[in-house]
Amino acid sequence: MSRRDGPIIATTEVIVVGAGISGLAASRELRRRGKYDVIVIEGRDRIGGRIHSDASSFPDVVIDLGAAWIHGMKNNPLVDIAKQCRAKTYRTDDDNIIMYNARGEEMRHDELEDAEGEFLRMLRGAEKYANGKNSDLSLRRALEGSAGTKNLLKPLIRFQLSSYLEYDFGAPASQLSAWYYDDDKEYKGGDALFPDGGYIQLLQHISRGIRIDMNVAVESIEYGKGSGVLIRTNRGTYKAKFAICTLPIGVLQAGDVKFHPPLPDPKIRALHRLGSGLVNKVILSFDACFWPETTQYFGVCHDAPGKYSYFLNAKLFTGRNILVTVALGDHARAVEAQSDRDVQAEVMRILRDVFDANAPDPTRLLVTRWGQEVYSRGSYSYNKVGATRKDFKVAAEPVDGVLFFAGEHTSADYRGSVHGAYLSGIRAAKELWDND
């Protein structure tokens, strides 16, 4: 390993790249063991990464622009952290939903229940169909092969596929592996949001006492067995005995940060077999509420499922007239090229068709574009066609005993989740400890 240009601005035992929850969890675990000096370096001017609790865009309300839920309240380590920092949680109820057809007419609840049952049967049929093939194929192809394209065009089935499944996995069914798309684990006990203060409360709690250097953009990571790590940045070079890299899957795939020597070929291949998903949110605030105030979710079976067809009524937990909708699948990519004005027009057309033709424009609107965020380049990982659990495990493997990896994309059991990212940080810290 040879030192690159730039002065050594800090020398320490461990450098953690990234102040998302995986990096902070790793840092806290190392500090808890009481043995290591740790510096976290972060490209943004805030901690959190893909957890972004926005306290400035909407008056007196904190809105989570990225990760928002604790998924599974039973035995989830994030629940304990929330209790430690006294963060209030609000349990959301997936059954508290009103569905509307393309004409804006309310649909019967039993219609949705019947469609849910039919969709689950279709997924089981797709699994059987895919298992009869010699190679992996997309979930959409498996569904078409087992249930037929015509059945996939049913409005409520299209809604299930987009607003539930494609939302959960962050990718269109045409990209999801039919063999392994749901090959992970989950905690039970329902899901919860943070109604007062956002997800960031947990990160503020676990980051206490940790040195975090902000606005430090990593350019390259040089490593070598027995010679440690040099991390070249826009502010100079950091030198350490070990490093934990928590760069997101999208950033690693884009090659924005160079590794010297290059990462092992098996790791590079594994990283590129994984999918980098994308979900974008649209948050709208209004002077008055023109939707049913006590309903948690609204679903709309219009002609473009996944394009603002699922709405969260944030008034239930914020007390403000706020709706949150999402762009999913291919629509998540498309929204990044649109102006806020065009997005607003499309969302309001749907809301006016469903609720009130005279509904006012929002007083405030915010559109996320996670694919354009250079320190994220996407939302969360998924099992792309051809990917397996092994790829997540290879993505997590240390290199040369000095370079370790964490992040939701390194969690085979809980990929795509905040708790998966958190647990990966603890795992990486333990691996470092064991290798020292």
Q: Residue 227 and residue 224: Cα distance in Å, rounded? A: 5
Q: Residue 202 and residue 194: Cα distance in Å, rounded? A: 10
Query: Which residues, including other chains, have CB under 8 Å from residue 384's CB and lie 6 or more apart?
Result: 171, 175, 176, 177, 273, 274, 275
Which two structure tokens, joined as six digits, stand for 398? 């240390």
Is 22 annotated among the ligand-binding residues? yes
| Rounded-to-10 torsion of CA 52, 56, 57, 63 | 40
Is 418 annotated among the ligand-binding residues? no
Known binding site: residues? 22, 218
What residues form the annotated binding site for FAD? 22, 218
